[in-house]
Amino acid sequence: MNALHELRTVRPASVDDATRALVEGGAQPLAGGTDLLPNLRRGIGTPRTLVDLTAVAALDTIAPLPDGSVRLGAATTLAALARDAAVCAGWPVLAKAAGLVAGPTHREAATLGGNLCQDTRCVFYNQSDWWRAGNGYCLKYRGDKCHVVVKSDRCYATYHGDVAPALIVLDARAEIAGPGGARTLPLAALFVEDGKARLTLAAGEWLTRIVVPPAAGWRADCAKARVRDAVDFALAGAAVALRRDGDRMAGLRVAITGTNSAPLAVPTGDVIGRPWDADAAQALAKAVQATGNVLATTVAPVKYRRRMLQALVRRLVDDLWKQP
């Protein structure tokens, strides 16, 4: 680990003050710090200012709305999200996803916004500074080539967040603050399939809240594969939401994580409107395979992660389909 470089910390109390602080060059948001601070200790990134968002008014609240939706503050801890009574009752897949992140002590500090906006990573990028320097760094930081796909002009570091797939299949929306004012977008549109670019946020923009609509007949669940049952990032992960109408699949949403540079929704048009049977399962498996771009970004073999991703999705759909 490297010693932290000299930097300053500011702690704004309002969204407007936080936005003004983040517009300054070299500023970076800080909440729980469970992802950012280890990277800084590895010599990854040299922000001049950390903007501590934990004092921004109402940014850590979970607020049910009159239409049955719920608004989640970006500074809400994952532990609070996992045990909130309203979330557990109305959106249990979200509570489950939050509870799958890292370990209990991490979840007490880590925030919803930080988990969603976490850095992408790979076995070349997330190493000590001396190791990365000895390998000429990489396209994501200080280098000019991707070690995963050597001749590529884009970074293939992968996204491993657990909460994003659950929110995507729940059709959640993200509220963004920035120097140009507030805007709202589908959560899936927050991400870009490029390990270096990562997010679609403009300079000075930051995630303030997530709004999750009522479940309205959708059943949802999530799962992840990892080496250990706690602490580890997903080697492959998935969330599924479905609506069943008799013997017909009335609606199906699938999102994956741990395999691509962003959490991605899987096209499910070939499955909707038909029974969930072996042919439908095969069609969905092909869609999952086509969406998941599994490369050598973790210590686990590519073939294992690819097969595990398909198996996770199949099991989730099977179990949700059988629910009364």
Residue range 45-70, pLDDT digits in tens: 999 999 999 999 999 999 999 999 99
Looking only at the bridges linking them, the beta strands covering 173-177 and 183-186 are antiparallel
Say what the pTM is. 0.96
Same fold? 1-52, 68-117+158-322: no
Domain ranges for the chain, please list them: 1-52, 68-117+158-322
Range 68-117+158-322 classified under CATH 3.40.50.620: no
pLDDT at 112: 98
pLDDT at 3 over 90: no
Q: Which CATH number fits domain 1-52: 2.40.33.20, 3.30.70.1400, 3.40.50.300, 3.30.43.10?
A: 3.30.43.10
How confident is the model over 151-192, as pLDDT tens digits? 888 999 999 999 999 999 999 999 999 999 999 999 999 999
pLDDT at 229: 86
User: How far is residue 40 from each of residues 17, 66, 112, 151, measured CA to CA in Å?
Assistant: 24, 42, 20, 28
pLDDT at 1: 63
pLDDT at 146 over 70: yes
Res. 233 pLDDT band, cuts 50 70 90 = very high
pLDDT at 299: 87
The answer to whether the beta carbons of residues 100 and 222 sit under 8 Å apart is: yes
pLDDT at 71: 98
As a whole number, mean pLDDT of residues 122-141 equals 92
Q: Give the residue from 239, 169, 179, 208 showing the smallest Cα distance to 29.
A: 208
How confident is the model over 91-118, as pLDDT tens digits? 999 999 999 999 999 999 999 999 999 9
